[in-house]
Structure 1
Amino acid sequence: MKPFSQPNLAKAQSEEATSQAKVVKRLMLATAALLGSVVYVHADEAELVIHASHDTEQAQETVIIPIVGAMESTGLLAGSVVAVTGLGQAQAQAVGFGAYSVNDSYISYLGYFNYALSARWTFDISALQADFTDTEMYLGEQPDEPIDVPSDASYLQRDWQMTFRYLLNQTPAESVNSMTGLQAQPVTRVLEVEPFYKSREFRSDKVANVAGETYGISVTLDQDARDYTPSPSRGYHSYAKVLRDWGGSERASYTRWEVQHSHYFDLGSNRINQQQTLSLTGYLSDTPTWQNDKAHRQPDWFAQSVLGGPDRMRGYGDNYMHDRSALFYGAELRMIPKWQPQSRVPVLSRYDFPWWQTAVFAELGNVSDKLDFSALHNNMKWSAGVGIRVFIENIIARADFGFSKDDSIFRFTVNQPF
């Protein structure tokens, strides 16, 4: 590396001062009052998606967002989000989040994303630990031994994963289709290899503790032809994943696979919305190593084929339905209004906040103790709701209110559901 000349050193000092000024300018207090009869902050086990920035500036940049909130299971909650772009490499980003509440609940998360190992390999790593000391516990339908757990159970969650991505190929966009007048989207195919660890534990003085653990490796083949990843209006996204846990003395060995295909249809614009998209998806999961007559050969509830949570059957609690196989259909109408006032709001204008979006969704799903399409389609449960998404600092923050015949839930999480 060449040493700085005096003019370059002065320039570097100026850029550093500018960067520090941005940090100070972007320091804000975001107050979120999460009120309702049932309120969840979901510690999302899926990895955070950091979308590519269109900003050509290569300087390292730090954003700090203190947060104060309140919810039923924690009381007053305070913490902050810290995101550092350009750490190690220009396109890499580190994100950390921590929060603590008056009843000793806490959430902690740390991730490092988009680090290039070579021209084709990239690397992510993330870890999450959360402990909610006053939460409801539901492990799904237990026909042989119903579990009635009081609402003061303590819930501890730990997740970590490393993701190695290999770019298989990228097909360039084709010429404009004479039939549709639209240009075909480039198709990107990626192979992902992900070592993972997940554990869950419910603790209560009134019933026996319930705990589970799984760790192993998953392999995913991903095909992406979306025109704009954060909020596509055309194209599709598909993946096929196989997960393997080799088991141990206190946990079952199992193999589970899942596939999902999502398609996006551009509905144009109107006088209110600049973008309207109909998003459709289908999902299927199965555990071929499952044995109905041997419970010890079955993975713990959260590692089975599950429905209920922030992405599938949002009107139900996390892992509300779990069994050998799961089938899910989802439809979502997403709308980006023309009214985007955030750039004129004194505090919000200091953030990279290009758009916000509304959504209406409807879902169908079911689980079964065998891979049988007739059984999976029989007496399917439904869920519906509305949501808001904001694209801020290259991250999609999402709030959804989902309801069903059994429950209603308001969630804050990240990423589009599909």
Structure 2
Amino acid sequence: MMNKYPKKVATPALKGLIPLTVFIAASLSLYSQSSIAASAHVKSSVNRSETPDTGTEKLLLPYVFSTDSMGVNIGLGAMISGYYQEQMTVGGTVYGGDVSYGAGGGVWNYKIPKTERFFLSVYGFLGYYPQQKAYAGGASNFIPADTPLPGSNDSSNEQFLQADGSSNWWEMKLEYALPIGATRDKGQVTYELTNGLLTSKPSGGDKWNPFESGATVAVLRQFNRYESYEFDDDELDGAVHAIELGLLYDNTDFSVNPSFGSKQYLSISHDAGWFESEQSWTFLEFEASKYFSFGQSDYASQRILALNFWTGYSPSWELEYDEQGGRKVNNNAPYSEGASLGGFYRMRGFENNRFHDKASIYATAEYRYTLKYNPIEDVSWLKFLRLDWFQLVGFVEAGRVGDSYTANELLTDMKYDYGVSLRALTAGIVVRLDVATSDESTNAWVMVDHPF
């Protein structure tokens, strides 16, 4: 039996490399499926000197992707940014294959009328997937004493549940830009770019002082998940209806593509067991990033060292034992929402939500090398992509989950992976193709935004 909690829609692990246009279109389609790792972000608009008269950035592209479980899928992704309100984005996607299908979209950063600092985002996705995989089961049945809990640090990557089923979600969030620092006079920041590089004043980075530098954003998010697994003799499903309260301080020069400065995010999430939710849980998390610029070189317009640390803890998580010493988890944060590692943001060399437990710790380093050379800059029929630069990235990651928040537990027997990434700035949005390898698998992930 599976843990009856849903997980986010898994980003397809793509087979091989894909053409540039497919890469961008697939990434934009996933923009309607996932938010950035932190739920809050700086409210901003991006003005490109190359398109001074349009006021908007938009893309409409078909795409194709193939995975081992989903087969070949054909879809269409679309987005428009800066229409109606300069900081607002509208996007969506639809795709389908022999068995799988999906459709979703949303509105991001709609400034509520007659306010200057309140921004509303609403988005969601409906999908059906063949052979969904979940490293779960420890909350439904007692796991024998001599068997690791599914998804724990010592668990086998063969401990998973797999079946066709639905994975649907929707969420909304209200963000408030505090009247301090870079947003003291206005609730959003305007960035001016030439060739994808910041030419206007940085929004932060010179000093760590929220009252003088950078942007501080508070967020209230309500999120919902529903997932089903259709086994031959049974169907399992589950739901999440939770809220998150968080605070972001982004003290970087350019929040879309930071080259120096830092940012921190702190949040608490809680599900009170509302509606179909079967358990009550609480989860705390903290994230910090730091960026160092090494300037230009003969072939690079930017050379950036980016560091990130993330940790999480679920105080409600507890074990129940039977007479034989078997364990079952109660009041645990869902494996997709709590102390989880693996997938397109953290521990990319492992499958989506491969590890989860009561506590987690994670660290990564990326070297981001923004190329001066843009091979499609003068290709007239690709101008509509608004592609300003390509970026080569190498990265390493380390992480651990455990059943207690102690150094002995979380700093021993850690998991590691490493990889490379090709990224591009298109229409003011970073899109990426990450390829990472670990001792368990090699994965490719297509996604919007830097992982941090």
TM-score using structure 1 length: 0.81
Instruction: Indicate the SS of the match to 1:259.
Output: strand
Give, in whole Å, the separation in 1 of the partners of 2:360 and 2:137.
Answer: 13
Matches within 5 A, 1:7-406: 30-31=21-22, 44-47=33-36, 52-55=45-48, 56-57=52-53, 62-101=58-97, 103-117=98-112, 118-139=115-136, 143=147, 148=159, 153-172=163-182, 183-184=206-207, 186-205=213-232, 208-248=234-274, 251-293=278-320, 295-406=329-440
1:109-152, Cα deviation, whole Å (9 max, x unpaired): 2010121111111111111222221454433997357675576x
Q: Is the 1:292–1:369 Cα contact (8 Å) retained in structure 2? A: no
Q: Is the 2:57–2:80 Cα contact (8 Å) retained in structure 1? A: yes
Give, in whole Å, the separation in 2 of the partners of 1:391 and 1:327.
Answer: 30
| AA in 2 matched with 1:69 | F
Give, in whole Å, the separation in 1 of the partners of 2:346 and 2:236.
Answer: 24
Q: Is the 1:286–1:371 Cα contact (8 Å) retained in structure 2? A: yes
Give, in whole Å, the separation in 1 of the partners of 2:342 and 2:31.
Answer: 12
Give, in whole Å, the separation in 1 of the partners of 2:23 and 2:109.
Answer: 29
Instruction: Indicate the SS of the match to 1:349.
Output: helix
Q: What are structure 2's unaligned runs of at least 5 residues? A: 1-18, 25-29, 151-157, 184-204, 321-327
Give, in whole Å, the separation in 2 of the partners of 1:266 and 1:321.
Answer: 33
Instruction: Indicate the SS of the match to 2:376.
Output: helix
Distance 1:210 1:408, change over 3 A: farther
Instruction: Indicate the SS of the match to 1:348.
Output: helix
Instruction: Indicate the SS of the match to 1:343.
Output: coil
Give, in whole Å, the separation in 2 of the partners of 1:140 and 1:383.
Answer: 25
* Deviation of the 1:380 alpha carbon: 0.5
Give, in whole Å, the separation in 1 of the partners of 2:32 and 2:128.
Answer: 10
Give, in whole Å, the separation in 2 of the partners of 1:383 and 1:42.
Answer: 25
Instruction: Indicate the SS of the match to 2:47.
Output: coil
Give, in whole Å, the separation in 2 of the partners of 1:367 and 1:63.
Answer: 40
Q: Is the 1:140–1:319 Cα contact (8 Å) retained in structure 2? A: no
* Deviation of the 1:292 alpha carbon: 1.8
Give, in whole Å, the separation in 2 of the partners of 1:140 and 1:160.
Answer: 24
Give, in whole Å, the separation in 1 of the partners of 2:60 and 2:239.
Answer: 33
Give, in whole Å, the separation in 1 of the partners of 2:36 and 2:127.
Answer: 15
- Match in the other structure for 1:17: none
* Deviation of the 1:29 alpha carbon: 10
Q: Is the 1:32–1:68 Cα contact (8 Å) retained in structure 2? A: no
Q: Is the 2:310–2:363 Cα contact (8 Å) retained in structure 1? A: yes
1:250-304, Cα deviation, whole Å (9 max, x unpaired): 5110110100000001122221211110100111100011112263322332233
* Deviation of the 1:81 alpha carbon: 1.1
Regions of 4+ moved over 6 Å = 48-51
* Deviation of the 1:237 alpha carbon: 1.1
Instruction: Indicate the SS of the match to 1:303.
Output: coil
Instruction: Indicate the SS of the match to 1:53.
Output: strand
Give, in whole Å, the separation in 2 of the partners of 1:148 and 1:374.
Answer: 25
| AA in 1 matched with 2:102 | I
Give, in whole Å, the separation in 2 of the partners of 1:361 and 1:236.
Answer: 18
| AA in 2 matched with 1:258 | E
Distance 1:413 1:242, change over 3 A: same
Q: Is the 2:57–2:427 Cα contact (8 Å) retained in structure 1? A: no
Q: Is the 1:362–1:384 Cα contact (8 Å) retained in structure 2? A: yes
Q: Is the 1:238–1:261 Cα contact (8 Å) retained in structure 2? A: yes
| AA in 2 matched with 1:187 | G
Query: Aligned pairs, how many?
Result: 373
| AA in 2 matched with 1:238 | Q
Distance 1:43 1:377, change over 3 A: farther
Distance 1:87 1:308, change over 3 A: same
Give, in whole Å, the separation in 1 of the partners of 2:450 and 2:75.
Answer: 24
Give, in whole Å, the separation in 2 of the partners of 1:339 and 1:114.
Answer: 33
Give, in whole Å, the separation in 2 of the partners of 1:352 and 1:121.
Answer: 29
Q: Is the 1:247–1:253 Cα contact (8 Å) retained in structure 2? A: yes
Give, in whole Å, the separation in 1 of the partners of 2:133 and 2:87.
Answer: 40
Percent identity among equivalent residues?
Answer: 24
Instruction: Indicate the SS of the match to 1:94.
Output: strand
RMSD: 2.9
Instruction: Indicate the SS of the match to 2:179.
Output: strand
Q: Is the 2:238–2:277 Cα contact (8 Å) retained in structure 1? A: no
| AA in 1 matched with 2:384 | R
* Deviation of the 1:172 alpha carbon: 4.8
Instruction: Indicate the SS of the match to 2:78.
Output: strand
Give, in whole Å, the separation in 2 of the partners of 1:74 and 1:135.
Answer: 9
